[in-house]
Chain A
Amino acid sequence: MSVTEPTGYAAGRQFSTGTGPDFRVLDIGHKDWVAVVEPRTAFWSLVAKTGLADTLTEAAFGDAYRKKAAAFDAEIGNLRFGLSPSAVYLNPTERCNLNCTYCYIPGDLRQGGSQMDVPSLLNALGILKTYFQKELPTGRKAQIIFHGAEPLLCKDGLLAAFEGFKDDFRFGVQTNGTLMDADFAAALRGYGVSVGLSLDAPEAETADRTRRTWGGAGVHDQTLKAMELFRGYDELAVICTVTSGNMAALPALVDFFHEREVHAALLNVVRCTLPGARLLKPDEKELFGHFEAALERADELRKRTGRKLIVANFANILLALMAPAARRLMCDLSPCGAGRAFLAIAPDGGAYPCSEFIGLPRFRGGNLFADSVPEILASAPFRQVVTRDIDTMDPCGRCAIKHFCGSPCPAEAVEMNGGIERPGAYCVFYEEQVRYALRLIADGRAEDFLWDDWDQGTTTSFEL
């Protein structure tokens, strides 16, 4: 017997029964508004509390949703399952001159690990260039991020890479900044390289608790000198790793960044993949209080000066709501971007779904110098990560905000919570971020937290 479309009431005329939309009411903590969310399609609307019953039981609301449901479903499906890689975290060295408490790369690798020589680095880029030329649309450049450990230990290789492949890739460098000097900063600016600097607090006393040399010395002042070399540079973003030790400093850190003309910062909560990081995991409610205060502080500064400091990881949550396919970061989605939107390459050519997995050998999916990129992407370790499907996870599968959160991160879930199908470490923090984002939208403030051209290239697909 062939399968036919369901008929009658099961065809979706009613919400919450049969094949109808699964409208859930979410208290966002606003005095006038609640959210109505359809989890599967990541559809949401804000509904006046006084009109909730009318809205849900009248046809217009459901009809407006039904007209777009298939398109929303396809959009989220494509985002979750239809992407192909466009970026690579290329770690030219496992070594680092720092011994930060929370680093996800094991200490023995950071002290004595391998390092690519210049020919190997250029060879790796050549392989990736060939792959991306076949896979990406004409005219699109893949992104190569030289990532940690500390890539500035390989300055010669990086300069050779920028010069040799400047027409083939967009480059980025994530660095602790301690080895930065004026000449190298000028080169990065000259090649238009995106730069990510790591700084955890405005003052040395707090920042140096977690970010220090192997001898225990703080590096706050050196990082500030590096930041000064990029003052006003549009391609600079500063990453703060938020822990129990520095979360109270977030509002002051926003002041600090804004004063130094930083355009974008990431206030990334510490990932709990390795045991050392778990000791610094903040209380989530308290964390969100400081995080919200920091965002509000950024908005106060915008009003006063006309200049925005974008907190990019929160902006990404707003984008997940307002323009899901325009999001820039891929942690807040499940499957996340690891192993499908990007991959990470270790100095020996070892391929991992994401840098977060580099300390976990069982997630090594091949070697760039021995296996083709499609073979790596099809390997069992990569498949394990890219098939982490939030719909099948408990309790995430039944959560109304699952496509705005994604329950990151899979590496963390494996190491901290006992399995890749387990939730990540920050359920409450994500819940609070989504509720806050919806409050901002309710109050007409969302765009104040996004960069000015955030919706360039987008079209409005739904508006009420």
Chain B
Amino acid sequence: MAKGSMGVCARRALFLLEMAMQKQQHESERNGRPSVSKDKVVKNVRAIRKSCSALGTGLSHFFAKEKGAVR
């Protein structure tokens, strides 16, 4: 369908969509990314990582429960 044959509502919807896309593009160019939505990320993501200073025992064939002495 040619653009000229659209009804008013359809043209307005298309205009708003184009505006939204332009805004997102500008924001993306400025920040390198679209706007932050931390709540959405937290809802969608699960991750856990722990660090420790005393590393493991460094054994390959043998298992000891006591934490070892590497570095």
Binding site for B on A (CB under 8 A): 9, 13-14, 33, 43-48, 50-52, 54-55, 57-64, 68, 71-72, 75, 78-79, 82-87, 89, 136-137, 140-143, 145, 147, 170, 172, 174, 194, 196, 234-235, 237, 239, 263-264, 266, 268, 312-313, 319, 322-331, 336-338, 341-342, 354-356, 409, 441-442, 451, 455-464
- How distant is A176 from chain B, measured CB to nearest CB, in Å? 13
Given the contacts A54-B37, A63-B36, A84-B70, A464 and B61 also touching, CB distance less than 8 Å:
no
Kindly report which residue of chain B lies nearest to residue A442, judged by CB atoms. B46
B51 partner residues in chain A, CB cutoff 8 A: 71, 75, 323, 325, 458-459, 461
User: When the two chains form their complex, are residues A337 and B64 in contact, meaning their CB atoms are under 8 A apart?
Assistant: no
Asked if B52 is at the interface (CB within 8 A of a chain A CB), the reply is yes
- How distant is B67 from chain A, measured CB to nearest CB, in Å? 7
Top 7 A-B pairs, shortest CB-CB distance: A341-B58, A51-B44, A13-B32, A140-B69, A59-B33, A45-B47, A323-B50
Binding site for A on B (CB under 8 A): 31-38, 40-71
User: When the two chains form their complex, are residues A327 and B44 in contact, meaning their CB atoms are under 8 A apart?
Assistant: no
Q: Most chain-B Cβ atoms within 10 A of its Cβ — which of A52, A54, A59, A442?
A: A59
Which secondary structure dominates where chain A touches chain B? mixed
Among A14, A330, A356, A409, point to the contact of B58 (Cβ < 8 A). Answer: A330
Q: A170-B66, A235-B65, A326-B67 are in contact. List 11 more A-B contacts (CB 8 A).
A: A51-B40, A54-B40, A86-B69, A136-B69, A142-B69, A235-B64, A324-B49, A328-B59, A337-B60, A356-B60, A460-B48
Kindly report which residue of chain A lies nearest to residue B43, judged by CB atoms. A51
Cα(A457)–Cα(B63), bound, Å: 19
A9 partner residues in chain B, CB cutoff 8 A: 32
B61 partner residues in chain A, CB cutoff 8 A: 89, 145, 147, 174, 196, 239, 268, 355-356
Among A59, A147, A441, A456, point to the contact of B62 (Cβ < 8 A). Answer: A147
- How distant is B23 from chain A, measured CB to nearest CB, in Å? 16
Cα(A83)–Cα(B59), bound, Å: 12
B53 partner residues in chain A, CB cutoff 8 A: 457
User: When the two chains form their complex, are residues B65 and A234 in contact, meaning their CB atoms are under 8 A apart?
Assistant: yes
